[in-house]
Structure 1
Amino acid sequence: MPQKVELKRSMGIWSGLSLVIGTVIGSGIFFKQAGVLQTAGSSTLGLLAWLTGGVITLAAGLTIAEIGARLPKTGGLYSYIESLYGPVAGFLTGWMQVVIYAPAVIASIAGYAAFLTANFIGLPTSSATWIAVIYVAFIAGINLFENRVAASFQVITTSIKLIPIAILIIYGLFFGKVNALGQTVSDTVSHGGGFGMAILATLFAYDGWILLANIAGELKNPRRDLPRSIVGGVSLIVVAYVGVSFGVYHALPSDRIVALQNNATFAVVRAAFGDFGGRALSIAIIISMLGTLNGKMISFPRMAYAMSLDGLFPKYLSKLTRKTQEPTNAILTVALMTIALAIVYTNGVDRLSDIAIFTIWIFYTAAFFGVFILRHQTLDKNVDPATLFKTPLFPITPLVAIIGALFVIGSTVINDFSGAVISIILVLIGLPVFYYYQHKRQQQ
C-alpha cells in the first residue's frame, strides 16, 4: 500500500518569524509615513497612531497565538472559524480569502513591485503588467520545491529588508536635527477622521501577520513555534514601524514629509548616502516586496488545500506532490488566478483587495471572541496545560483586539459604505458554492 503523502513539518522558529515579518513588511513601511502624518495632523499624533495600531495588532497576535496553540491546524483563520462556529462560517472565511483576497492582494503587491522595477531600469510603465506576471511566476516556482526552499527565501529577503529599516532608524535617531515630536502639519487631510483614520491606516499596514497560521501543519512544533513566531514577529514589526516613522520625523520637517509624500524615506536615505542610497533603497524595497509575495504564496494555497481536504473546494487542490510534499495544484491555481487578475483587472486590483480586507476583519473579530469560547472547553488529553500558550492579561488583551477590530469595521462602514456592501455580497456569493459541495459530500 503506497505511503500517504503529508505536509512536511520542517519549519522552525526562524522560518516562522521570517514569515510573519516578511509577510507584513512590504512597501508600506517606506511609503506610509507621510499619509499617516497628514491624516493625524501632527508628528506626535502620527507616532501615537503607529503605536496605537501596533498595540492593537499585538493584542490581536497574542489572542490568536492562544487560539493557534489550542487548534494547531493547517488552514489558519479558516480552520479556527470552522472549529469555533461551524462549517458555513469557516467556508465563507476561506472563500473570501482564497478566491478574492489572495489573488487581489498578491496581484497588487506584484504590480507595485513591477512598477518600481520598470522605473528603476528605465522601462515604460506599460511593461509593469508583464513584469508582475514574471514575479508571480517566479515566486510560485520557488514554492513548488520543498517548503524549506521558500522558507529560506523568506529568511533571506526578510534579512535584506531589515537593513534599510535599521539605517532609517539609526540615521533619524543620531543624525536628524528636527524635533520629532510636536510638529504640526499645515496641509492636513480635509475629509475628516483625523487621529482615528490615521490609526486605521496603520492597522492596514500591520495586516498579514495571521497568515503564518495557515502553515501550522508544517511547523516542527506548532503549539510552541506558532505563538512565539506571531508574538515575536509582531513585536519586531511594531518596533520597525514606530522606529522608522520616528527616524523620518526626526530627519525632516513635517510639512516637508507631507510635500514629499511617497518620496520622504528616499529623501532621508539620499541625505545619508546620496543618489546611490536612493537607488539601493529602491532595490531593497523591490526585494522586500518579493519577500511579501513569497509569504502570501506560502500561506494562501495552504488554506485552499485545507478546504479541499474538508471537501469544500475541488478535490485536486488537496493533492500533494510526493517528492516535495507540497500542495502543488493549490499553489499553481492561486498563481494562475493572480496572473489572470493582474492582466485583466490591472487598475482595480488595489480596490478589490481593500474591499476584501473589510470582511477579513469581520472574521478576525469572530476569531478574537473565540478565545473566550476555547477557555471554557476541555483541553485535548495530550496537551499539558502548563506548556500551553495563554494570552497574557486575559481578558483585557482580547478585548483590546476586539475593540480594534470593531473600530476597523465601523470606520469602513462610515467611510466606504459601498465597499462594505460589495464586500458582504462577495462573501454571500460563496453560500451556494458551500451548499453545492455540502450536497456533493452527502452523496459520497
Structure 2
Amino acid sequence: MEQQKEVSLDRDLGLWSALALVIGTIIGAGVFVRQSAVLDDAGSTTMGLLAWFAGGLLTITAGLTIAEIASQMPETGGLYVYMERIYGKMWGFLSGWMQIIFYGPAMIASLGAYLAILLSDFFGFPSKYNVYIAIGTIVAVGILNLFSNRYGATFAIITTLCKLVPVAALIIFGLFFGNQSAFGHSLVEVHQTAGNFGVAILATLFAFDGWILVANLGGEIKNPRKLLPQAITLGILAVLVIYLLVSYGVYRSVPAEQIHKLGTSAIPYIANQAFGAVGGKILSIGIIISIVGCMNGKIMTFPRIMYAMAKRGQLPFSKTLSYLHPKSHTPIFSTIAELIIVTIMIIFSNADRLSELCIFTVYCFYVMAFVGVFLLRKRNPGQKRVFSTPLFPITPILAIGGSLFVIVSEIVSDLPGVLTSFVLVAIGIPIFYYETKRNREAFKDNSELKDQD
C-alpha cells in the first residue's frame, strides 16, 4: 500500500481518446446485426428509422444527464462513484459489484464468443476451436491494456477509424446507388404481429449501450470536468448520426420484405451485392475490427471500477487489486482479475444470457443516477457547475422515462431473468459488510481517492 502513495493513474487522455472510447465502446456488432430485428418490430421502414432516432434521443438525454454528474465527480469508477456519493457506500458497492463480477465480464465474453464465430468463418477454422479463439483474442486485447493507457487509447482511435470504413461504404452505397425508398415500406408478411414500436426502441437502446463506460476513466482524462461531458455528448451524437445513416442506407439498398427474410444476413448480402465477394470479406473484416474495438473499450474501463473499489478496501484482496504498476501506471491485477472472470464465463456459462440478465440491473442503477441530478441540485443549490444538463428538468425526466421503459419491458418479457439478476446483485451485500468490517481502517483511510486531485 505504501507504493500506491507514490504511483497514481496517468491523467493523459485527451478529447479524441475519450471520444474514440465512447464511439468505439458503443459501436460493436449491433448496428450490423439488429437491422432486421428493429424493422420487424417497427413494422415499416419509416417507423424503423424513427425507432433508431428515438433510441438515440433517449440515449442523448441519458448522456446529458450523466454529464452533469460527471463534471462534478470526475473520478475513476464512473457510475460506481456517482452512486456512492449520492446514495451511500453500499449502493455504490452494489453498482460496482454488478459491473465487475457479472455485467462487464459477460459483455466482454459475449463479444469474444461472437468474434470467434466470425474469425472461424473468415479463416475456415473448425467451430470446435471457437472457445480457444475467444479466450485468445480477449487475452491479447487484455495484455495490450496492461501497458500505459495511451496504448489502449491509441488502439481505440485506430479501431474506431477502421470500423467507420465499412460503415461509410454501406452509407455511400445506399445513398447514391440504392434504388429503394427508405420511407413508407411496410412488412406485409409480419404486418399482423409487427408494429410494436416500443419493442423496436428497446432493441436500439441495447445497441446504444456502453456510452457511460468512458466515465470509469475520469481519473485518467485531462481536464475531466470539461472533457467528460464533451466526450459523452459528442460521442452519442456521432453514433446516432451513424446509426441513422446506416439504417437509411440499408433501407435504400434492399426492400423491406427482403431485409426481414435475410435477418442478420441483411448487411452481408448488401455488401456482396454492392462490391461482390470481396465486399463481403471487407465487411467481415470491418465487423471484426468493430468488435475488437468495442472489446478493447470494455477491457480498458471495467477494471478501473474494480481498482476504485479496491482503493476503498471493499473487495477481497483489495491491496493486490488496487496495485498500480510503477511504470505503466495501470491497475494490472484488476485487469488480470477481470480477464480471469471472463475466461471462466466463456468456459462454464452462457455469457449472452448473463449479459441479458444484467441489463435490468444496469438500468435500475441508471434511473437512480438520473434522479441523483435532482438530489445534487437540491443539496448544493448555490454550487457553480462546469456543465449543466440542457433543458433541465425535461432532459433528465426523459432519461428516467426511457430507463423505466427498459425496466418494465424486461419485467414483462423476462420475469425469471429479472429475479435472477436481483439474486446476483444481492450476493454482493454480505461481501460488502464483511469486507468493510475486515478492512475498516483501510476503508476509512481511502474513502476518497487520493490520486484524483
Could you tell me the TM-score, scaled by structure 1's length? 0.96
Aligned to 1:115: 117
The 1-side partners of 2:333 and 2:287 are apart by 30
The 1-side partners of 2:322 and 2:287 are apart by 34
Aligned to 1:69: 71
CA displacement at 1:166 relative to structure 2? 1.3
Aligned to 1:318: 322
Spell out, residue by residue over 1:88-142, the C-alpha distance to the aligned partner (whole angstroms, 9 max, x if none).
Answer: 1111101111001111110100110111000110111121110001111101110
What residue identity is the alignment partner of 1:334?
E
What residue identity is the alignment partner of 1:435?
Y
Worse-superposed segment, 164-173 or 204-213 = 164-173
Instruction: Report if the CA contact (8 A) 1:38-1:187 is conserved.
Output: no
Q: Secondary structure at the match of 2:217?
A: helix
Aligned to 1:240: 242
Q: Secondary structure at the match of 2:347?
A: helix
What residue identity is the alignment partner of 2:322?
S
Aligned to 2:291: 289
Return structure 1 stretches of 4+ with deviation > 3 angstroms.
189-193, 377-381
Aligned to 1:342: 346
The 2-side partners of 1:30 and 1:190 are apart by 26
Aligned to 1:38: 40
**Does 1:327 find its partner at 2:331?**
yes
CA displacement at 1:378 relative to structure 2? 3.2
Of 307, 310, 320, the match for 1:308: 310
What residue identity is the alignment partner of 1:335?
L
Aligned to 1:78: 80
Aligned to 2:25: 23
Aligned to 1:425: 423
Instruction: Report if the CA contact (8 A) 2:65-2:389 is conserved.
Output: yes
Aligned to 1:97: 99
What residue identity is the alignment partner of 1:442?
R
Q: Secondary structure at the match of 1:376?
A: helix
The 1-side partners of 2:191 and 2:222 are apart by 47
Residues matched between the structures, number: 438
**Does 1:265 find its partner at 2:267?**
yes
CA displacement at 1:190 relative to structure 2? 7.3
Spell out, residue by residue over 1:66-96, the C-alpha distance to the aligned partner (whole angstroms, 9 max, x if none).
Answer: 1100111110110000100001111110111
CA displacement at 1:399 relative to structure 2? 0.6
**Does 1:364 find its partner at 2:366?**
yes
Aligned to 1:211: 213
1:68-217 equivalence runs, <5 A? 68-188=70-190, 194-217=196-219
What residue identity is the alignment partner of 1:284?
G
What residue identity is the alignment partner of 2:208?
Y
Spell out, residue by residue over 1:315-360, the C-alpha distance to the aligned partner (whole angstroms, 9 max, x if none).
Answer: 1110000010000000000011111211222xx1101101001100
Change (3 A) 1:268 1:139: same
What residue identity is the alignment partner of 1:323?
K
Unaligned 5+ residue runs, structure 1? none
Q: Secondary structure at the match of 1:322?
A: coil
Alpha-carbon RMSD across the aligned residues, in angstroms, is 1.6
Aligned to 2:251: 249
Spell out, residue by residue over 1:139-196, the C-alpha distance to the aligned partner (whole angstroms, 9 max, x if none).
Answer: 1110011000000000000000011111111211111111111111123387778111
Of 430, 434, 437, the match for 2:435: 437
Of 44, 47, 59, the match for 1:57: 59
Instruction: Report if the CA contact (8 A) 1:39-1:189 is conserved.
Output: no
Aligned to 1:409: 407
The 1-side partners of 2:256 and 2:159 are apart by 31
What residue identity is the alignment partner of 2:140?
F
Instruction: Report if the CA contact (8 A) 2:42-2:194 is conserved.
Output: no
CA displacement at 1:379 relative to structure 2? 8.3
Q: Secondary structure at the match of 2:215?
A: helix
CA displacement at 1:271 relative to structure 2? 2.0
Change (3 A) 1:201 1:147: same
Instruction: Report if the CA contact (8 A) 1:365-1:406 is conserved.
Output: yes
Change (3 A) 1:189 1:433: farther
Aligned to 2:446: none
Q: Secondary structure at the match of 1:6?
A: coil
The 1-side partners of 2:146 and 2:440 are apart by 33
What residue identity is the alignment partner of 2:434?
Y
The 1-side partners of 2:192 and 2:303 are apart by 41
Instruction: Report if the CA contact (8 A) 1:39-1:188 is conserved.
Output: no
Instruction: Report if the CA contact (8 A) 2:107-2:351 is conserved.
Output: yes
Unaligned 5+ residue runs, structure 2? 443-453
Spell out, residue by residue over 1:18-77, the C-alpha distance to the aligned partner (whole angstroms, 9 max, x if none).
Answer: 000000100111111001001111111111110000000000000011110011111011
What residue identity is the alignment partner of 2:387?
F
Instruction: Report if the CA contact (8 A) 1:185-1:254 is conserved.
Output: yes
- Percent of aligned pairs sharing the same letter: 47
Aligned to 2:451: none
Spell out, residue by residue over 1:265-300, the C-alpha distance to the aligned partner (whole angstroms, 9 max, x if none).
Answer: 112222221110100110111111000010000110
The 1-side partners of 2:409 and 2:255 are apart by 29
The 2-side partners of 1:187 and 1:419 are apart by 31
Could you tell me the TM-score, scaled by structure 2's length? 0.94
Aligned to 2:445: none
What residue identity is the alignment partner of 2:18?
G
Worse-superposed segment, 421-430 or 147-156 = 421-430
Change (3 A) 1:420 1:187: farther
